[in-house]
Structure 1
Amino acid sequence: MAVNKTSGKGKWILIAIIVILVLLLASAAGWWFLLRPSAAPTPAQIAKEREAKVKFIDLGSLVTNLQSSDGSTHYIQVEVQLKTYDPSIDAKVKALMPEIRNSILLLLAAQHADQVGQPQVRTDLLNEIKKRVNGILDSDGGTLPAAQTSAKQPIAAVYFSSFVIQ
Structure 2
Amino acid sequence: MSGKEKAGKGKILLLAIIAILLLLIVSGGVWWFMLRASAPPSKAQLMQERAQQTKFIDLGSLVTNLQSNDGGTHYIQVKVELKTYDADLDKKIQAYLPEIRNQILQLLAAQQADKVSDPSVRSQLLSKIKTDVNQVLETDGGALPDPSGKSPPPVVAAYFSSFVVQ
TM-score (norm 2): 0.81
Secondary structure of 1:138's partner?
helix
- The aligned counterpart of 1:151 is 151
- The aligned counterpart of 1:64 is 64
Cα distance in 1 between the residues matched to 2:24 and 2:86: 45
Cα distance in 2 between the residues matched to 1:66 and 1:16: 87
Q: How does 1:114-133 map to 2 (within 5 A)?
A: 114-133=114-133
CA RMSD between the two structures: 2.7
Q: How does 1:1-80 map to 2 (within 5 A)?
A: 28-80=28-80
**One-letter amino acid matched to 1:93:** I
Cα distance in 2 between the residues matched to 1:128 and 1:34: 47
Cα distance in 2 between the residues matched to 1:144 and 1:20: 58
TM-score (norm 1): 0.81
Identity of aligned residues (%): 59
**One-letter amino acid matched to 2:88:** S
1:65/1:76 contact within 8 Å kept: yes
Whether 1:87 and 2:87 are equivalent positions in the alignment is yes
**One-letter amino acid matched to 2:91:** A
Higher helix share: 2
Name structure 2 gaps, 5 residues minimum.
1-14
Runs of 4+ that moved beyond 4 A: 15-28, 146-150
How many residues align structurally? Answer: 160
Shift of 1:141: 4.3
Change (3 A) 1:149 1:22: farther
